[in-house]
């Protein structure tokens, strides 16, 4: 009859049992302890790196938000300047508007393709608006109307004109979202 390790323990003297324990029980305990410590350190490292990643992400998000806010403020300043330009004069001609936008150096406003002025035009005054606009250095000015609304919101001036020519004369009030 063959003897199993458990039966060997019961028959063997105490010294032999101690030797058997040293050969596999102590290494097993040490291995399991090492594995548990490794898992514990791994979890602590994960938790710590997760917190530092979250802090780094929040800092970057704040920086991006501040950059966007600053750029939008720059654009607001330009629009406030235009508001002042129109408030200070009874009329603004196309050339004056062009000179104003040229003085801004568009490259200083990342993301801006140009600056424009939208005129409110009641439909019954559309013909006189077209005549005045064409007489103001824009003989080829045409309207692009896509609605039958009683009033229009027409892009009258837009500078620089060349890259934004498609927008000139557009009734942006035709789109419900923009109209609101």
What are the pLDDT digits (tens) for 46-93?
A: 888 888 888 899 999 999 999 999 989 999 999 999 999 999 998 999
Q: Indicate the Cα dihedral angle 117, 161, 179, 154, nearest 10°.
A: 70
pLDDT at 145 over 90: no
Q: Is residue 171 within a helix (H) or strand (E), and if so which, with residue range?
A: none
Percent of the chain at pLDDT exceeding 70: 88
Q: Indicate the Cα dihedral angle 148, 151, 155, 156, nearest 10°.
A: 120
Q: Is the separation of the CB atoms in 175 and 158 below 8 Å?
A: no
Q: Determine the distance from the C-alpha atom of residue 160 to the mean position of all C-alpha atoms in its chain, rounded to a whole number.
A: 26
Q: Return the pLDDT at 4.
A: 54
pLDDT at 126 over 80: yes
Whole-prediction pTM: 0.65
State pLDDT tens for residues 148-160. 888 999 999 999 9
The first and second tokens of residue 129, run together, are: 């608006």
Q: Is the separation of the CB atoms in 93 and 137 below 8 Å?
A: yes
Q: Is the separation of the CB atoms in 116 and 158 below 8 Å?
A: yes
Q: In this structure, which long-range contacts are made by residues 77-86, counting pairs with CB atoms below 8 Å and at least 24 apart in sequence? A: 78/104, 78/109, 78/112, 78/115, 79/115, 82/115, 82/117, 86/117
State pLDDT tens for residues 85-117. 999 998 999 999 999 999 998 888 888 999 999
Q: Return the pLDDT at 3.
A: 53
Please state, in angstroms and rounded to a whole number, the distance separating the CA atoms of residues 171 and 137: 20
């Amino acid at each position: 009859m063959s003897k199993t390790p458990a039966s060997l323990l019961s028959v063997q003297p105490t010294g032999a049992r101690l030797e058997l324990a040293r050969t596999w029980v102590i290494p097993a305990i040490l291995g399991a302890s090492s594995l548990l410590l490794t898992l514990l350190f791994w979890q602590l490292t994960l938790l710590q790196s997760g917190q530092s990643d979250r802090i780094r992400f929040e800092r970057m998000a704040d920086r991006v938000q501040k950059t966007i806010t600053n750029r939008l403020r720059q654009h607001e300043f330009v629009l406030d300047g235009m508001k002042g330009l129109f408030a200070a004069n009874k009329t603004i001609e196309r050339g004056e508007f062009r000179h104003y936008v040229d003085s801004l150096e568009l490259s200083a406003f990342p993301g801006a393709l140009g600056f424009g002025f939208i005129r409110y035009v009641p439909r019954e005054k559309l013909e006189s608006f077209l005549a005045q606009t064409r007489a103001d250095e824009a003989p080829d000015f045409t309207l692009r109307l896509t609605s039958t609304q009683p009033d229009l919101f027409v892009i009258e001036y837009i500078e620089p004109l060349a890259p934004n020519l498609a927008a000139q004369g557009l009734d942006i009030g035709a789109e419900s979202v923009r109209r609101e």
